[in-house]
A and B are shown apart, each in its own frame.
Chain A
Amino acid sequence: MAKSPDQEHPCKAFGWAARDKSGLLSPLCFSRRENGDEDVTIKILFCGVCHSDLHVAKNEWGFTNYPVVPGHEMVGTVMKVGSDVKKFKVGERVGVGVIVGSCKKCESCQQDLENYCPQTIFTYNSHYTDGTKTYGGYSDMIVVDERYVLRFPDNLPLEGGAPLLCAGITVYSPMKYYGMTEPGKHLGVAGLGGLGHVAVKMGKAFGLKVTVISSSPKKETEAIERLGADSFLVTSDPAKMKAALGTMDYIIDTVSAVHPLLPLLSLLKLNGKLVTVGLPDKPLELPIFPLVLGRKLVGGSDIGGMKETQEMLDFCAKHGIAADVEVIQMDYINTAMERLAKSDVRYRFVIDVASSLSQ
Chain B
Amino acid sequence: MAMSTENEHPVKAFGWAARDTTGHLSPFRFSRRATGEKDVTFKVLYCGICHSDLHNIKNEWGITSYPVVPGHEIVGMVTEVGTKVTKFKVGDKVGVGCMVGSCRSCANCKEDLENYCPEMILTYGAKYYDGTITHGGYSDIMVSDEHFVIKIPDNLPLEGSAPLLCAGITVYSPLKYYGLDKAGMHLGVVGLGGLGHMAVKFAKAMGLKVTVISTSPNKKKEAMDHLGADAFLVSRNTKEMELAMGTIDGIIDTVSAVHALLPVIGLLKTNGKLVMVGAPEKPLELLAFPLLMGRKMVGGSGIGGIKETQEMIDFAAKHNIVADIELIPMDYVNTAMERLSKADVKYRFVIDIVNSLKPS
Contacts and interface: CB of A to CB of B under 8 A. Distances in A.
A277 B295 contact: no
B295 A177 contact: yes
Interface stretch (B21-29, B160-168, B282-290, B320-328): B282-290
A285 B283 CA distance: 6
Interface in B258-311: 261, 270, 273, 276-281, 283-302
A293 B302 contact: yes
A135 to B, nearest CB: 23
Contacts of A279: 288-289, 292
A116 B270 contact: yes
A156 interface: no
A283 B286 contact: yes
Contacts of B292: 276-277, 279, 300-302
A299 B108 CA distance: 23
Contact of B283 (A177, A288, A292, A293): A288
Given A276-B292, A286-B284, A286-B285, A296 B299 contact: yes
Contacts of B108: 270
Interface string A95-126: 00000000000011000010010000000000
A270 B116 contact: yes
Contacts of B286: 261, 283-286, 298
A182 to B, nearest CB: 15
B203 interface: no
Given A270-B113, A300-B295, A292 B300 contact: yes
Interface string A278-313: 111001111111111111111111100000000000
Contact of B288 (A113, A280, A290): A280
B300 A302 contact: no
A288 B300 CA distance: 7
A276 B288 contact: yes
A300 B294 CA distance: 8
A292 B301 CA distance: 4
Given A277-B292, A285-B286, A295 B302 contact: yes
Given A279-B288, A295-B116, A300-B291, A286 B297 contact: no
A127 B271 CA distance: 26
A278 B287 CA distance: 11
Contacts of B291: 276, 298-300
A230 to B, nearest CB: 21
Contact of B279 (A261, A292, A301): A292
A192 B230 CA distance: 47
Nearest to A258: B288
B296 A297 contact: no
A276 B299 CA distance: 13
Nearest to A117: B270
A291 to B, nearest CB: 3
Nearest to A297: B299
B297 A299 contact: yes
Interface band, chain B: 20 to 34
Contact of A286 (B113, B289, B298): B298
Contacts of B296: 299-300
- Most A Cβ at <10 Å: residue of B279, B286, B294: B286
Given A277-B292, A279-B289, A294-B116, A288 B297 contact: no
A293 B61 CA distance: 14
Contact of B276 (A177, A277, A288, A300): A288
Contacts of B277: 292
Contacts of A298: 286, 291, 297-299
B300 A116 contact: no
A51 B21 CA distance: 52
Nearest to B270: A116
Nearest to B111: A270
Contact of A301 (B273, B278, B281, B295): B295
B285 to A, nearest CB: 4
Contacts of B287: 283-284
B185 to A, nearest CB: 14
Contacts of A294: 116, 300
A294 B116 CA distance: 7
Given A116-B294, A300-B295, A293 B288 contact: no
A290 B276 CA distance: 11
A113 B270 contact: yes
Contact of A302 (B177, B293, B299, B301): B293
Interface in B295-354: 295-302
A249 to B, nearest CB: 12
A290 B295 contact: no
A122 to B, nearest CB: 12
Contacts of B294: 116, 300
A245 to B, nearest CB: 11
Interface in A258-277: 261-262, 270, 276-277
Contacts of A270: 108, 113, 116
Contacts of A302: 292-293, 295
Contact of B261 (A108, A286, A296, A297): A286
Interface string B24-44: 000000000000000000000
A297 B298 contact: yes
Contacts of B293: 116, 300, 302
23 contacts: A107-B270, A276-B288, A277-B292, A279-B289, A283-B285, A285-B285, A286-B284, A288-B284, A288-B300, A289-B279, A289-B281, A292-B279, A295-B300, A296-B300, A297-B297, A297-B300, A298-B298, A300-B291, A300-B295, A300-B296, A300-B297, A301-B292, A302-B293
Given A288-B300, A297-B273, A299-B296, 7 more contacts: A292-B277, A294-B300, A295-B116, A295-B301, A295-B302, A297-B298, A298-B298
